[in-house]
Amino acid sequence: MVRLAGVAVAVVAIGVLPHLFPTAYFTHLFTTIAYSTIVVIGLNVLIGFSGQISLGHAGFYAVGAYTTALLSAQHGWSLWLSFPAAIVAAAAAGFVLALPAIRTKGLYLAVMTIAFGFVVEILSQRWVEMTGGTMGVYGIPTVSVPGLPAGAVGYFYVVAAATLALQLVLNTLVGSLWGKTLVAVKDSEQAAEAVGIDVLRWKVLAFVISAGCAGLGGAFFAHQNGYINSDAFTFSTSLFFLVALIVGGLGSRYGPIVGVTVLTALNQVSAQLYEYRFYTLGVLLLGVLIFMPFGLAGGVSALRRRLRRRAAPAAVGLTAGPASAATTPVAASGAALSVRGLAKHFGGVAAVDGVDVEVRASTIHALIGPNGAGKTTFINLVTGRLVPDRGAVACADVALDGARPVRRARRGVIRTFQNLQLFSDLSVAENIAVGAHRHVHASTVEFALGLPRARRVEAEVQRRTAVLLDALGLTNLAERRPDEIAYGHRKLVELGRALAAEPTVLLLDEPVAGLNATEAERIRELLARVRAGGVTILLIEHNMDFVMKISERVTVLNFGQKIAEGTPETVQRDPVVLQAYLGRRHGAAAGAPTRA
């Protein structure tokens, strides 16, 4: 209801705006704000929501502009065809750039996008046969829609309507499971892969969407004045989009419109201060990032969250809470994990040296060993993060060798992380919901338009999430962010996310590290119930009390080799294990006098 009211207000505002400011100058300005917002919405998807970067977005903008300009002005295409062509061309350019780009991150991606922007800029200047260079393309037809006033005002209505539609679609996507999944990719690619999210695919998708939006904005730009030339597609243009996004707020829904409006207004105002007007972009970039990293729109939501936090401070420590006695929802029976002869060397040192482990289905098996024994390397080999030098890993008799981590996760081999990789921008409930990804079967378009199948999937995931929250005793904290809750609760959330994936084999890396006795006991209870539900569990731990109480079998590693295996009691008394941890008795063998 609130949403419909909001849309109605927006429609009215759009309708009224050209009449409140009835000069051609302002109408032109508003139109510019509208299609610039379209570009920045796309940039927001790329930088704010998927965590990538583009410092050359004017390139996609240019592709869109030139495509529609050339097709309509020089080849007589109808605008109903040239506009979609512009979007497709820009999206295709985004795809082509994304393929190499997604494998790089950080600095190299930034450089690649700048280079791309430069390439497009140079082409637009020099490829005079196509683009007209600095002379440009003339005679681009204006848009006329029957029923709307002719000229600039009518054009404003068209562009503003498109902007509004795009904003609504974005809002739908961001509010849906799709949007949460994209943010998860941004927050932690490792953790996203661990629950079966195909990170590479999602990053390419974000690039393509972002480029397509830039193309649409460019197309609107081209038809605004009937003329474009290469001056419009420089690095300054890319910088404008970037600064607008940052000022408005990276990753916030209304950041783009706020940022573009503020920046345009500032430019208008500072045109008066002739000498100093150029400084706005640089100063804004620097100032906002240092003092207001959330931007304007983002700052508002951050403030709201902080107020809410102050009103209801997070409970410290875990109460042995009323976790529901109902069974935790799990997969069909857990699978056996079989590891044979697994080995991995790093520069001449054997981190894992020919290890065999059989984890029987629906049991809890612990992996222990002194520092540097190879336990984490072992888990990384099983999940596919590292490629072994030799050896085989199989789950329920299906070989996993050669499969990427994502594939293994999709088969139900789910892991948690020692250093907790929660999605910091998502709430507790959303963290858990995203874990169910491998059971989500609805497409981007279905989510974008709110089609029935997407809505059913969301409802189902919500239901499952609620059950898990209840079982973990986290229902009261469902809306909190990870940084607002106590450490013990965060460990529960990470466990909950893994459980949401309905694992067949659950790999836990130090599940009770840093927890006190009560909290550790709580996890122990939970894991016992999870196992009762049939899941196979392999865990690494240093907390020996915990290991001894919960495991059915224990494997001990040292220097990458298996030195002992058996029930907890057997392992505890094994002299080989004692020596591995405590060292050889010094004086006795060497005969040197020990300290009195």
Partner 1 sequence: MSGEMLVQVLVSGIAVGGIYVLVAQGFYVTWRTSVTLNFGQGDFLMFGAFVALSFLRMGVPVVLTAALVVACLTLLGIVVERVAIRPVMKAGHAALTWAFTTLGVGVIVQNAAISIWGNSSQNFPPLFGGKFELLRIGGVGIYSAELIIIVLSTLIMLAYLWVLRRTLFGKALAAVAFSGDTASLLGINVRRMHMLAYVIASVLSGVCGLLVGPISVVHPFIGLNFALKGTAAAILGGFASPVGIWVGGLLLGVIEVTSNLVSSQFGDLYPFLVIVLMLILRPSGLFVGRDAGVDAAR
Partner 2 sequence: MLEVRSLDVAYGPLTILRAVNLDVARGEIVTVIGSNGAGKSTLLRAVSGLARVVGGSIRFDGRRLDRLHAEAVASLGVAHVPQGRQVIPDLTVEDNLRLGAWRLRGDRARVARLIEREYARFPRLTERRTQLAGSLSGGEQQMLAIARGLMMDPAFIMMDEPSLGLAPIVVDGIMDAIRGLNENGLTVLLVEQAAAYALAIADRGYVLKNGEVFLSGPASELRDDERVVHGYLGG
Binding site for partner 1 (CB under 8 A): 51, 53, 55, 100, 103-108, 110-112, 114-116, 118-119, 122-123, 126-127, 235, 239, 242, 246, 250, 275-276, 278-279, 281-286, 289-290, 293
Q: What is the 3-state secondary structure (H, E, C) of 358-401?
A: EECCCCEEEEECCCCCCHHHHHHHHHCCCCCCEEEEEECCEECC
Which of 180, 489 has the CB closer to partner 2? 489
Amino acid identity, position 579 = Q
β-pairing, 413-415 with 390-395?
Answer: unpaired
Shortest Cβ distance from residue 456 to partner 1 (Å)? Answer: 35
**Residue 596 is a binding residue for partner 2 (CB under 8 A):** yes
Q: Which of 313, 371, 397, 441 binds partner 2 (CB under 8 A)?
A: 371
Q: Which of 84, 370, 534, 566 binds partner 2 (CB under 8 A)?
A: 370
**Residue 547 is a binding residue for partner 2 (CB under 8 A):** yes
Shortest Cβ distance from residue 216 to partner 1 (Å)? Answer: 25
**Residue 441 is a binding residue for partner 2 (CB under 8 A):** no
**Residue 17 is a binding residue for partner 2 (CB under 8 A):** no
Which of 120, 318 has the CB closer to partner 1? 120
Q: Tokens representing 434?
A: 């995203």
Phi and psi at 139, nearest 5°, equal: 70, 30
**Residue 561 is a binding residue for partner 2 (CB under 8 A):** no
Rounded CA separation 19/41 (Å) = 26
Q: Is 595 exposed, middle or buried (0-12, 13-18, 19+ CB in 10 A)?
A: exposed
Which of 77, 235 has the CB closer to partner 1? 235
279 binds, among partner 2, partner 1, none (CB under 5 to 8 A by kind): partner 1
272 binds, among partner 1, partner 2, none (CB under 5 to 8 A by kind): none
**Residue 543 is a binding residue for partner 2 (CB under 8 A):** yes
Residue with tokens 């079982």: 471
**Residue 315 is a binding residue for partner 2 (CB under 8 A):** no
Largest CA distance in the chain: 103
Which of 138, 276 has the CB closer to partner 1? 276
* C-alpha distances out from residue 200 to 102, 250, 386, Å: 7, 21, 17
Residue with tokens 């790093």: 346
114 binds, among partner 1, partner 2, none (CB under 5 to 8 A by kind): partner 1
Rounded CA separation 393/539 (Å) = 16
Percentages helix, strand, coil for the chain (3-state, rounded to 5) are: 60, 10, 30
In 3D space, the residue among 485, 525, 501 whose CA is nearest the CA of residue 416 turns out to be: 501
Single out the segment in contact with partner 2 by CB under 8 A; choices: 12-20, 252-260, 265-273, 567-575. 567-575
Quick check: 493 and 432 in contact, CB under 8 A?
A: yes
Q: Which of 110, 292, 467, 513 binds partner 2 (CB under 8 A)?
A: 513
β-pairing, 398-399 with 390-395?
Answer: antiparallel
Q: Is 350 helix (H, G, I), strand (E, B) or coil?
A: strand
**Residue 581 is a binding residue for partner 2 (CB under 8 A):** yes
The residues that touch partner 2, with contacts defined as CB under 8 A, are 349, 370-372, 483, 486-487, 490, 510, 513-514, 542-548, 559, 568-569, 572, 577-578, 581-587, 590, 592, 594-596
